[in-house]
Copies of this chain bind each other. A is one copy, B any other.
Amino acid sequence: MSGRINLAAVEAAPLQADFDNLAAITEPDRPWTRRSFTPTFLKGRDYLKARFEEEGLSVRLDPAGNLIGRLEGSEPGVIMTGSHSDTVPSGGRFDGIAGIVCGLAAIRALKTSGYKPRHTIELVDFLAEEPSEWGLSCVGSRGMAGALGPTELALPGPDQERLDAAIDRIGGDTSALGRPLRDDIRAFVEIHIEQGPVLEAEDVPIGIVTGIAGIGRLKVRFQGIAAHAGTAPMPMRQDAGLSAARFMLAIRDGAQTLANAGRGHFTATTGVVHVEPNGANVVPGSAEVIVDIRAEDDGAMDTFMADAEDMARAAADAEGCTVSVTQLSRTFAVPCDPRLQATIADAADHLGLTSRPLASGAGHDAAFVARLAPAAMIFVPSKDGRSHCPEEWTDTADFVSAANLLAETLMRLDQS
């Protein structure tokens, strides 16, 4: 059948088995770790390739090293889903394998239901989504989108292996990179764990991602004068640590205000703090703070980056210090496709699944695929909002719901 039908429900058991089997493919001394390009990672891919084939997909590697399983349709055009199988060191069981395992479960449900897709459905394991030893994240989705140029491909990694050599080693063909690899994608939908606390706190099983926040990073260095903690009288100090403390609180207050301003998701974090010389008996002579800023609205990012410089100057002045502010990086926000969001929302309603719109503060492959095609994401709850750590957890029931939603969504997209 190729019309819209009532799909069979996703089975929990094979989905659970995939998670368990993949969890076992880890560096044994630090679960759960499958670092991209390593033998452990390739072992995970061997498992996925076998499973893709078991579910009737034809499997290939594209030039960017992405593993692609393909369920052929009768008409041109591809509807794509997927995520990534690499992890951070000592990461979790679900980021980002959830998007592949749920994709497999959804395709299995489509097939079990006898649904014959008009468009080809592709399930992708994007290469090296997490920041890799080559200093780059989203390697495979960048490559697919034509965003891996000579600079990126020349990045050196472990044992001085260049990134292009590493991609070729695992089966890619970097001679074909540097331009978009695809013009046939009609839509892309990625399932991912939320990695935040919102869905769990509101007891909502499905997040429909409104956009992927842009990320800005500032390095702020305060310079005061190191002095003896016992002999420098309080009024004669230029304590760079206190400038840093003032600045951290100002950043939070400013971010809180912007987060409440109705301009979408906004956060700012001072996660890195170094004071020097960091001795108990020395007034800090310098201090460095790294600010991480996430904004769904690029204008809000611009505003805050400018404000942060003013905050830094005020914090320095108040303690008789000087300050320098360096922009370390800046990416722009990627809105998810509104029509795809609506399709997912309708599908969720149809299945009786509560959902809410939610921004992604983290980066994802979908942000690069969005350069090629309409893209959207489905989030599932993360227990205690935790991620990138062994405690990362999502109940199987939530994955089953998301896989059911993905199957329904893929069918609706195939029909539209």
Contacts and interface: CB of A to CB of B under 8 A. Distances in A.
Interface in A217-245: 217, 225-236, 239, 241-242, 244-245
Which applies to chain A's interface (DSSP): helix, strand, loop or mixed? mixed
A270 interface: yes
A362 B230 contact: yes
Interface string A269-299: 1111111011111111000001010100000
Q: Which of A198, A234, A272, A385 has the most CB of B within 10 A?
A: A234
Nearest to A358: B231
A270 B319 CA distance: 14
B197 A227 contact: yes
Contacts of A235: 256, 259
B267 A271 contact: no
A293 to B, nearest CB: 9
Given A241-B271, A245-B245, A273-B273, A196 B279 contact: no
Contacts of A227: 196-197, 385-386
Interface string A126-145: 00000000000000000000
A206 interface: no
A176 to B, nearest CB: 32
A255 B234 contact: yes
A197 B231 CA distance: 8
In the complex this chain forms, how many copies of it are found? 2
A330 interface: no
A361 interface: yes
Given A239-B252, A241-B271, A273-B275, A231 B196 contact: yes
Given A201-B236, A242-B248, A242-B249, A231 B269 contact: no
Interface residues of A, number: 65
Nearest to A215: B230
Contact of A229 (B239, B256, B292, B389): B292
A387 interface: yes
A412 interface: no
A388 interface: yes
A408 interface: no
Contact of A362 (B228, B244, B256): B228
A290 B232 CA distance: 17
B272 A275 contact: yes
B387 A228 contact: yes
Contacts of A386: 227
A249 B256 contact: no
Nearest to A273: B275
Contacts of A245: 244-246, 248-249
B241 A259 contact: no
Contact of A280 (B201, B266, B271): B271
Given A197-B227, A197-B232, A229-B267, 7 more contacts: A195-B228, A232-B361, A233-B265, A235-B256, A241-B248, A244-B273, A269-B280
Task: Return the 10 tightest CB-CB contacts between A and B, nearest first.
Answer: A230-B361, A196-B231, A229-B269, A245-B245, A245-B248, A231-B361, A230-B362, A230-B294, A234-B259, A195-B231
